[in-house]
């Protein structure tokens, strides 16, 4: 994807006041029609500049393969491009008593990087956007509802984009969004496994129908 340098520089500048590290723009098939939007890079991703290469990435690959996709088929990006961290105490020797722990991005950080995702969506105009987790779902749809209530649903909706004058506004055009749990969610709550696979079945079904109508 061709990026206006100013767009990236401005986003990095707006993020300067916050505790974040690294910068990941996205990776994958930008000529394709499926965009996957995660939350923010984790530690490994922030170091390498590649999305979803840690443990959550392995889980994402597993889930993609379940629906018949692999990374070359999709474009992977996220709401925030730098890893938000907080200092946590540790007893580990040689660490100086603290280490960086992951945390969710806050609203200011989400807004600071919003023009990057706005730009990617406009450039790619994906046929379907997979919102991985509550942060991506709320960022894209503006909904404060629980992701568990919309899991695997095929939702037609304008998406939220940042506006210099009004904060957030809706796009004029409608997009197809399918919300799924963030792949890391199952590590914290193994009980949701059944719901995950049910939502993946919905996604698979959507893909099969899409393929059928492409062939017709």
Using CB under 6 A, list all residues that contact ligand URA: 38-42, 45, 51-52, 56, 78
Dihedrals phi, psi of 79, to nearest 5 degrees = -70, -45
| Between 58 and 89, CB nearer to ligand URA | 58
Residue number with CB closer to ligand URA (62 or 209):
62
**Shortest Å distance, C-beta 52 to ligand URA:** 4
Q: CB nearer to ligand URA: give 172 or 188.
A: 188
Decide whether 43 or 210 has the Cβ nearer to ligand URA.
43
Whole-number Å distance between alpha carbons of 80 and 110: 6
Residue 8's Cβ-count burial label (10 Å; 0-12, 13-18, 19+) is middle
Q: What is the smallest separation between the CB atom of 65 and ligand URA, expressed in angstroms?
A: 18
The CB-nearest residue to ligand URA is: 38
Q: Tell me how far, at minimum, the Cβ of 119 lies from ligand URA, in Å.
A: 18
For residue 169, which of 177, 182, 160, 178 has the smallest C-alpha distance?
Answer: 160
- What is the closest distance, in whole angstroms, from the C-beta atom of residue 164 to ligand URA in the complex? 26
Structure tokens at 83: 């890893």
Class of residue 165 by CB neighbours under 10 A (exposed 0-12, middle 13-18, buried 19+) = exposed
């Amino acid at each position: 994807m061709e990026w206006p340098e100013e767009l990236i520089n401005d986003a990095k500048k707006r993020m300067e006041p916050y505790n974040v590290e690294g910068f990941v723009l996205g990776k994958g098939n930008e000529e394709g029609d499926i965009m996957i939007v995660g939350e923010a890079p984790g530690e490994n991703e922030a170091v390498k500049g590649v999305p979803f290469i840690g443990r959550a990435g392995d889980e994402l690959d597993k889930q993609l393969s379940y629906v018949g996709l692999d990374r070359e088929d999709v474009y992977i990006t996220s709401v925030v491009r730098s890893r938000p961290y907080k200092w946590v105490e540790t007893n580990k020797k040689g660490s100086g008593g603290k280490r960086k722990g992951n945390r969710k991005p806050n609203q200011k950080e989400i807004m600071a990087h919003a023009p990057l995702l706005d730009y990617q969506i406009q450039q790619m105009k994906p046929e379907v956007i997979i919102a991985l987790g509550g942060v991506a779902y709320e960022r894209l749809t503006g909904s404060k509802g629980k992701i568990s209530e919309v899991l695997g649903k095929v939702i037609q909706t304008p998406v939220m984009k940042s506006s210099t004058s009004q904060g957030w506004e809706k796009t004029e055009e409608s997009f197809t969004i399918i919300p799924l749990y963030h792949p890391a969610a199952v590590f914290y709550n193994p009980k949701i496994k059944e719901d995950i696979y049910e939502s993946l079945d919905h996604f698979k079904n959507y893909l099969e129908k899409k393929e059928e109508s492409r062939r017709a």
